[in-house]
Structure 1
């Protein structure tokens, strides 16, 4: 059933330009995929490692600024500037992880918040390099294999290919033995340490991979908008991505995608009909926290499991039906 659902999901994504019926909705679909990429990177920390970050937008903005600055001022091609942006952002994530992972819980959250605000302040004040509040404009999209990404449908399929590649790699990674060790450091760090696992090193590697994937999302972000500003590194952007992960379901592969679709659609579609769409977004998240505390995807799974349960016979406990009787010797 999971494979069938996955095949249907991919088929719907592949047919999206035909379903959307216009460049506007195709562009909205591209925004959803880019936001889902970023939410997937943050989900590695929040959902699997149990480390809540409020400065993750720093990687998105840093990669976007590096790529744009190298293309505009150094006249680098898109491939070279993109590789350099990914490499430098990953190095930055590794260095920052050395500091941030000295703490956990609320202290870790505050350190990541401080890191994000530092990067935002640099982007806002260093106007000679970053353009200040005006940002960097005049950027162009790449043309891989001669494809014109200026077309909305072509860019959507390019974004879809990157998204499916990243999503597949993340799925393989979190389901590997190392992925199980990441969840172990989240649930039982002391026991994992007693078993001989290097908890700090596992978290540091996860932190670096999360930063790298955030940089990939940053490249897609700057290619789509052809513009980068300090807003991309802001606390509001980090909080918005964190809400996507929480709403969809942290620690799941589909949850960040669902959360990204929810937030982006409310921003782009609902805002066209409702002036106070942010208030609507707040009510939606209050509903999720109160009635679906684990997120939409885990809540849907629980609802399906309840529907599949067989009704218990009159006068017989449900546990007696669902659990087979054990032999007397095994019970002893």
Structure 2
């Protein structure tokens, strides 16, 4: 039997204030004065000097602020790559992504596309990337997506929402500094944290489950319960635990897969522009049939933090729009297989999916 030989993030710093070590981390990686470091940063930090003033710019290094109001698109990656190629004398020394899952995914995708020909949409799928990415660093400022540790970069393309899943996608260096997560609004903190929680439920109840995934998944799930259900945590303790839950949740799906919620939320992002964490929550809220215990606990967390989910999203969609969503969802075969087994098509039919979407 042949086992998948997955890459890990080779270097990681964990601890409050770890961001301040960025300069010493990058210095040995600089290829030349004309090979800049490019910082891809969530534009929510545009006027945040507390963070931006600590970025160690030198020579022709530059910051590119990116909007993360919508899910990252393949066209956005192509535009960033073109901009970098046209404005730098040499290939960059590295790409540093700072922000939530969208900014981190953009940084991973850009680092890949700087060394691979064609357009980003050509690489949506599994193991399509031919050449190693340039050096890239991930610095999450919100916890939950697992983007800092995963081998995928999830993008909306012209035809689908699907990741660039490859051995060249994971970051070469990650800095986990929970202090960077201190000013997140409650609803965003909840939705992104639930992405991690739902990762765990889908991984731990899936048919792909193994001891590797189970070990990381159980750890992440327990941390999520502590963060979202206990009153005894301090803010700092909660921030650090959720950051580690995100890391372990991302690791838990490295050797397994996500499931029904992710398969159904991808089309919500593609067609309606619903942010990933919000979409997962909207879908998961209706999945008692597949994850009875997980959904029960999710509803308790939702109630505790007074979260109100959007309703009626699909009520006024045309039939062809619903059909498009169903088509995108059904194409995510590994997710359904993990959730429901080899005979998943006998359980999940287009009719069944349509009924579920119309509840949302």
TM over 0.5: no
**Structure (1 or 2) with the larger CA radius of gyration:** 1
The structure with the largest strand share of the pair is 2
> Relative CO higher for 1 or 2, CA cutoff 8 Å, sep ≥ 6?
1
The structure with the largest helix share of the pair is 1
Q: What TM-score do you get using the length of structure 2 for normalisation?
A: 0.29
